Structure 1
Amino acid sequence: MKFLKNLLITGIVLVIFAAAALAIVYFVKNKEKKEITPQVRKSVTTGSFITLSLGQTHYELDGQDTGKVVVLLHGFSVPYYIWDGTFEYLVENGFKVLRYDMYGRGYSDRPDVLYNKKLYEDQLIELIEQLHLKKPVNLVGVSFGGTLATDFTVDNPGMVDKVVLIDPGYSRTKTRVPQFIPEFKEAITADSRANSQINDFIYADLHPEWISRYLPQMEYKGFRHALVSTNYNYHYNGRESSAALNATHKPVLLVWGKEDQTVPFKYSDSIRSVLKTQFLPIEDAAHLPHLEKPEIVNPAIVTFVRK
């Protein structure tokens, strides 16, 4: 009995030490220690803010009121600056252009809710309505933004004219691991997530500021919850959703970097087997071809939306 008692005590002590060690690691590694306050928003030098049903959304809207409306949808975690260059190019070519930070990203609010398809679609619907944008709009989505563009069009066909998908997300399935585990992992590996963003390019040295631009949003509470909750609650099958998009008979331009390692180029074949598209494969480009080959991608978007 004494042996078992000592063993139990030893086990309890080890558990306490392990918990303390994990708490220390979390405290040291956790970047989310700030709130997005009105003072923070006043310091933001680009874009504007609008209050929607689940909080404030950071957005930028520019261009001619008479121009066709183009809405730019960013990827899984990089906020609306991912459209630098494309946004300005479309404005210069006569379009009315909107880009915005999805909930949980950039300087938009991070509501403590389920990040599912309805949340993202409702945010976009509210933006279109409150900003009084002419409908139907044209959607341009990169990566996860392509996922949203596809689903939004299927669910709201009357609000969309044309769709541009740039290296769109292909699959998103729910994991059985309890959600607190990946949330803890995100907290202690935040630097790895930030550093990995550069892998979306072939020539990382041409984008030396990419990681430093990503870091500020990670300091505000709710960022990792948004990412993890999206993984758990936004379920997507690229082939099935593409077939559903095809049934809407919307014109679709599919752009894909041939060296993409994030969403491999091979998935373009699967999508095109069920979705009629105009297809533009981009040589010498990875996951963000509109940034690596803007001289090809941006004019292609203009031509496609304009015609």
Structure 2
Amino acid sequence: MLIRSILTAFLLNALPALAQAQDIPAMDAELTTFQYPYPVHTIQLQIQGQRLHMAYMDLQPAKPNGKTIILLHGKNFPAAYWDSTAAKLGENGYRVIMPDQVGFGKSSKPEHLQYSFQLLAQNTKALLDSLHISNVAVLGHSMGGMLATRFTLMYPDVVERLILEDPIGLEDWKIKVPYQSIDKWYQGELAQDYGKIKKYQLDGYYGGQWKPAYDKWAIVLAGWAKGPDAKLVAWNNALTYDMIFTQPVYYEFENIKPPTLLIIGLKDRTALGKANASEEVRKTLGNYPVLGPQISKRIPNCKMVTIPDVGHLPHIQAFPQFIQPVLAFLSGS
């Protein structure tokens, strides 16, 4: 296992070359050979008659400021993509908790589970309870923004500050886009490969601008697609896509209580199921320069920061422009 881990780490460090050669390392359901930036711990959860585990990282700062922040990942990313964000927050004294939600990253991929944002929020609260953390700031990106919103609505007394980084769910797709069955999502996931994944991320996430540093996160998904547990991972992906599509938070932003920071990359055009919509409707979906201001006006005590020439992943694509307003907001300025 050690030799395999070392080999995988070597391969991942050579991602640009690998991506061109299509020599993607196969990865199992729980990314056992993929090294995270900080030590990984797990908690056990009893869910719907199953014993599952939830992986997480817990970065303890050298000089604590007494504050904790939890970072909630997006749909197509493991918690490891918070590496630079967590490091900077830790340098500023924050304890940083980074979970992989059940169904994602190094956490369990159950064969059957009725996913809901309420369930993921409960799992997140169970993690915080296990660590004896009663108050946190919450930062959610993409799908993690939907989860962060649901978590805040369910546990308003726990959340001190809320940060939404290009969250999805700023519109209700099910009233604009034809419904796609879980089986169809599953078939689409089974057909994924590096080329398709990169094209989707290039167009939808990075505003048409690709850098070698982005390959790492595309190759994780491609490694799953060619790994021994590809069908299981694809099934969980299909279930969580259905969760996102059918469980909007769009109608509840007015109920958010904590101070909120909304960060929007102005080139972001992410929208679930966009390909299933008519061309006329498709042009209106995922328009973050319009959706951001609309939602910020509906959230009480909300401040919005926009980042020009940046797509769906400001904390990867434009880290300095992302982290500066985050630190200022967390400090109360």
Shift of 1:159: 1.2
CA contact (8 A) 1:172 1:231 kept: no
Q: Please give the per-residue CA displacement for 1:166-188, whole angstroms capped at 9, x wherever unaligned.
A: 11112465664442222122212
Pair 1:179 & 2:202 matched: no
Q: Higher Cα Rg: structure 1 or 2? A: 1
What is the TM-score with the length of structure 1 in the denominator? 0.79
Deviations 1:257-306 (A, max 9, x none): 01112143221022023113111100121111122221121121112112
CA-to-partner distance for each residue in 1:133-189, whole Å, 9 max, x for gaps? Answer: 2x2111001111111111110111111110000111124656644422221222123
Which segment is superposed worse, 139-148 or 75-84? 75-84
1:83-124 deviation line (CA, Å, top 9, x unaligned): 121111101110000112111111111122011122211220
Cα gap change, 1:35 to 1:271, in 2 (>3 Å): closer
Kindly state the Cα deviation for residue 238 of structure 1 after the two structures are TM-superposed: 4.7
Superposition CA RMSD, Å: 2.5
**Alignment pair present for 1:275 and 2:274:** no
Which of 205, 209, 215 matches 1:209? Answer: 215
Deviates most, 79-88 or 61-70: 61-70
Match of 1:127 in 2: 127
Q: Which runs of 5+ in 1 are unaligned?
A: 1-30
Quote the Cα distance in structure 2 between the aligned partners of 1:88 and 1:70: 12
* Length-normalised TM-score, structure 2: 0.73
Question: Which of 216, 225, 242 is the aligned partner of 1:232?
Answer: 242
* Separation in 2, partners of 1:274, 1:185: 35
Is 1:197 paired with 2:207? no
* Structure 2 unaligned residues grouped into runs of 5+: 1-24, 271-285
Q: Give the counterpart of 1:241 among 213, 231, 252.
A: 252
Cα separation, partners in 2 of 1:208 and 1:287, compared to 1, 3 Å: closer
Distance 1:142 1:35, change over 3 A: closer
C-alpha contact (below 8 Å) 2:29/2:106 kept by paired residues: no
Who is 1:11 aligned against?
A: none
Is the 1:239–1:274 Cα contact (8 Å) retained in structure 2? no
Aligned to 1:259: 267
Aligned residues: 269
C-alpha distance in 1, partners of 2:183/2:247?
A: 22
Change (3 A) 1:107 1:205: same
Native 8 Å contact 1:167 1:287 kept in 2: yes
Query: Identity of counterpart residues, as a percentage?
Result: 22
Mean CA deviation greater in 291-300 or 146-155: 291-300
Aligned equivalents of 2:84, 2:107: Cα separation in 1: 21
